[in-house]
Amino acid sequence: MKRNLLVGLMLTANLAMAQINLEKSATTSVQLVRNATLLVEYGGKKILVDPMLSPKGVMESWAGIEKNPTVDLVLPIHQIVEDLDLVLVTHVHPDHFDDAAIKVLDKSIKVVNQPADKTFFEKHGFSNASVVDDNILWHAISITRIDAQHGSGEVLEMMGKTSGFVLKAKNQPTVYIVGDAVWTDEVKSTIKKFNPDYIIVNSGGAFIQGFDATPIIMDEAQTMDLIRHSGKAKVIAVHMEALDHCRTTRKSLKEKAAEFNIGSDKLIIPQDGEKIILSL
């Protein structure tokens, strides 16, 4: 009996150690698909963020320059959507969840979304969509929703509700996905509260036609403000060079960062299709 008990305890200990080693060895990464569409490998799960999967030029122009998206996908759609565990949606503007995503995604896929978009996912038949008011625990991954401010003044009222999300898990870096937001005290306090290892920021400097002086997401200057308050976090800037109403480019953001002596060790500006390995 004692021998059987000892063997049982050893097996339990070995299984626990194997689980710990699995968690530590699981690759954590962020791959920029295009615009704000990301593939995130986190805690052994494949997460698709804000899928805009349409081919180039099938959506209307938002700045009177050219139709959107302005570039094609560099990854095949089947590769983007295969073996997905979760779709994380900050809001359902068409550059974050488009008609192609509605058609391509399995309607039974787990979707995490903000309260304002509950009816949208019900309408389109997504049977496993979950509203996050504050926080949920999903497969040992804590997902906290953060209110975002998609512009200011009259423009903010036009843009509606948007959110960001913070991902936390044991043996994983903490990742703050800011979403479509301008720089605010809410973003600053979220960084201070969660002390993230990585911040993914939409830095395209987008605007609404007719309101050119009011950015609806961070531009070069606001991204620098975020970096100044980012603590230990590395900042990954996306949402550039895919939509005609985004004025900030990878080149202009890099040049602005150089003015503040901010290098690639702090600010990462990925190309479409590029994968970034995240570490603690």
Asked if the peptide bond before residue 55 counts as cis, ω within 30 degrees of 0, the response is no
What mean pLDDT is reported for the chain? 92
Say if residues 202 and 52 touch (Cβ distance below 8 Å).
no
Could you give the angle at the alpha carbon of 98 between the alpha carbons of 92 and 104, nearest 5°?
A: 120
pLDDT digits (tens, 9 = 90+) for 69-99: 999 999 999 999 999 999 999 999 999 999 9
Say if residues 71 and 196 touch (Cβ distance below 8 Å).
no
pLDDT at 179: 98
Measured in residues, the chain has a length of: 280
Pairwise CA distance, residues 25 & 171, whole Å: 9
**CB under 8 Å to 125, separation ≥6 — which residues?**
107
pLDDT digits (tens, 9 = 90+) for 234-256: 999 999 999 999 999 999 999 99
- pLDDT reading at 6 higher than 50: no
Distance of CA 183 to the CA centre of its chain: 16
pLDDT digits (tens, 9 = 90+) for 184-218: 999 999 999 999 999 999 999 999 888 888 899 99
Tokens of 126: 């997504």
